[in-house]
């Protein structure tokens, strides 16, 4: 399931003039007292399995403390939801954060179950500061609609009604939106539980092979 989800929702990461594909080395199932257990999460409504981007240097902190709402700066895309935990249905978005350096091709992608709550607000543009403050106070689940979305006809349900938005990336019709991919914001750490770490290797795709003379 995870390999399929990655393959369907990944697009090459571009660094300068080089693009990088990704291959999976290992997949780790995660359990930690730092965030809600799966048995706790399965009682919550509107659960989605999402990709969460993180630098490898921050990974141990997340495992010890869980994902905490980050202080974000408006209105930069990816930071437009205020103090929130932000994930995506596109592995391509998480891969941007997981990429380390050209000389260190290993990285991690995180898969977490997030409960978006009873009410989910869809946003197609950049919310105003007052709107963001209201979302933070009400702890409303948010879906920021990207210019690309996952094909809903390919989505499926995992155990305990967890939705897996595993579909190829297609145009959403929100052509003027600030986000390239869908992003989901949750304001309460008790609504997000890390389930898997996906150890990946970034591989240069457009290298020219020079034949031996």
Domain 2-203 has CATH 3.90.228.10: yes
Q: What is the pLDDT of residues 108-130, one digit of tens each?
A: 899 999 999 998 999 999 888 88
When pLDDT is cut at 50, 70 and 90, the band that residue 77 belongs to is very low
Q: What is the DSSP letter of 56?
A: G
Say how far apart CA 147 and CA 201 lie, in whole Å: 27
pTM listed for this prediction: 0.87
What the block records as the tokens of 78 is 């990816």
pLDDT of residue 80: 79
At 1, the pLDDT band (50, 70, 90 cuts) reads: very high
Structure tokens at 101: 């350096």
User: Quick one: pLDDT at residue 74?
Assistant: 38
> What pLDDT does 99 receive?
61
> Would you place residue 21 in the very low, low, confident or very high pLDDT band (cuts 50, 70, 90)?
confident
Gap between the Cα atoms of 172 and 182, Å rounded: 9
Task: Give which of 110, 66, 81, 61 is closest to 186, Cα–Cα.
Answer: 81
Residue 9 dihedral angles phi and psi, to the nearest 5°: -115, 15
Strands 192-204 and 85-88: unpaired
Prior bond to 189 cis, omega within 30?
no
Domain ranges of the chain: 2-203
Unique residue bearing structure tokens 């929130």? 84
Backbone angles phi, psi at 133, to 5 degrees: -60, -40
Q: Are 28 and 197 in contact (CB under 8 A)?
A: yes
């Amino acid at each position: 399931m995870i390999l399929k989800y990655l393959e369907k929702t990944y697009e090459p990461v571009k660094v300068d003039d080089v693009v990088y594909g990704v291959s999976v080395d290992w997949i780790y199932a995660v359990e930690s007292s730092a965030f809600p257990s799966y048995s706790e999460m399965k009682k919550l409504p509107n659960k989605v399995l999402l990709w969460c981007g993180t630098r490898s240097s921050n990974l141990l902190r997340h495992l010890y403390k869980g994902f905490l709402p980050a202080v974000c700066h408006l209105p930069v895309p990816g930071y437009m939801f205020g103090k929130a935990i932000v994930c995506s249905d596109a592995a391509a978005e998480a891969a941007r954060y997981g990429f380390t350096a050209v000389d260190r091709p290993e990285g991690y992608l995180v898969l977490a179950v997030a409960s978006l709550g009873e009410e989910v607000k869809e946003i197609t543009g950049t919310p105003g500061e007052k709107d963001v403050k209201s979302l933070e106070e009400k702890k409303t689940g948010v879906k920021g609609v990207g210019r690309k979305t996952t094909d809903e006809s390919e989505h499926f349900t995992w155990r305990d009604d967890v939705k897996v938005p595993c579909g190829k990336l297609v145009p959403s019709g929100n052509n003027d939106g600030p986000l390239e991919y869908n992003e989901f914001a949750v304001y309460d750490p008790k609504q997000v539980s890390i389930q898997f770490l996906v150890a990946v290797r970034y591989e240069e795709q457009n290298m020219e092979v020079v034949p031996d003379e």
